[in-house]
Amino acid sequence: MLDEPVAADPATDLRSPFADLPAGAAFGTLVHAVLEAVDTGAPDLPAEIAARCQEQLIWHPVPGATLDVLASAVLAAMVTPLGPLADNRTLGAIAPADRLPELDFEYPMGGNAMPTLGGLAALLRRHLPADDPLAPYADRLEHDGLGTSTLVGYLSGSIDAVLRVSGRRFLVVDYKTNLLREPTSPGVEGLVSGYRPPRLATAMMEAHYPLQALLYSAALHRYLRWRLPDYDPTTDFGGVLYLFVRGMAGPETPDGCGVFSWRPPAGLVVELSELLDGGSR
C-alpha cells in the first residue's frame, strides 16, 4: 500500500493538541501511565485527568511536558469518538467496569510443529479481502527472509486496554504517541490531518504493528474463551483499535483521524491461535 502525500494547510487544518509536547519513548510511557490511571467514573473528567497527569509527571518526568498542556491534550484524546467498532463512544465515556487496563498475558508458541511468519502470511492471504487496509502486510512478513522466522518459546506481554461495548463485544486497544513525519509535507506531524486512516495503515505496517495486533488478538481470544460462557469469536471478539493520540483532537476530529480500526475475521484469529500452538487445536 502506497500512501499519498498529505495535502495540508497549517493555517487552516486542525492542530494536534499534542503539537507542543515532546516525542520519544519517555513521553510515550508518561501518556500510557496517565491513560491507564484515569478513572472515567469520576464526576469531573477534566479534573481527574489533570490530577493523574500531575501524579504521573512526578513518576515519569519528561522535559517539555508541562501539566496544563499535557492535561489538555489527554482530555482531547479521551473525548474523541472511537468510530463504529466502539459504537462511536469515547475513552472518557467507557465506564471503569467496561475497561480492563493492562491485561497481562503469557502463552507458549510451538507445540506439535514450529509456526513461522510465512505461515502467518498465508493465513492473512486466505482470510483478508484485497481491500483490507492491512492486506499488503502479508508480503512484508516474507521480505528479507522473515518468512522462515519461527514463533516458538513463551510470548508474554500486556494489552494497554480491553474495552467492552454493546454489552458483550470486546476490543483490543493500544495507545500510540508516534510522531508521524511526512518528508514531502514538513510540519504535518503537528496537524490532525497527518493522522488520517491511510497514513495510519502505512505507519502500522512500517512498524510491524499488525503483527503485534494479531498476537494481542490471539491473547484476547484465548482469555475470552477461558472466561466467557458460550464464547463466540464471531460476535464477542470486536476487533482492534490503535489510538494514535496525536491525531485525536476531541469531538471536532475528522472521521477516522488518529483512530486505526481493524476487525480481523474471527476465522483468522482462531486459526492464528491454532498456528501458534504448532497446529494443535
Please confirm, yes or no, whether 230 is among the known catalytic residues. Answer: no
Q: Smallest Cα–Cα separation from 56: which of 23, 34, 38?
A: 34
Residue 124 contacts residue 138 (beta carbons within 8 Å) = yes
Give the residue from 245, 222, 240 showing the smallest Cα distance to 134.
Answer: 240
The conformation of residue 121, written as its DSSP 8-state character, comes to H
How far is 189 from 42, CA to CA, in rounded Å? 32
Q: Which of these, 242, 176, 186, 188, lies nearest to 214 by C-alpha position?
A: 242
Residue of 174, 232, 236, 277 marked catalytic: 174
Residue 20: C-alpha distances to residues 62, 157, 244 (Å): 13, 31, 16
Residues that are catalytic: 174
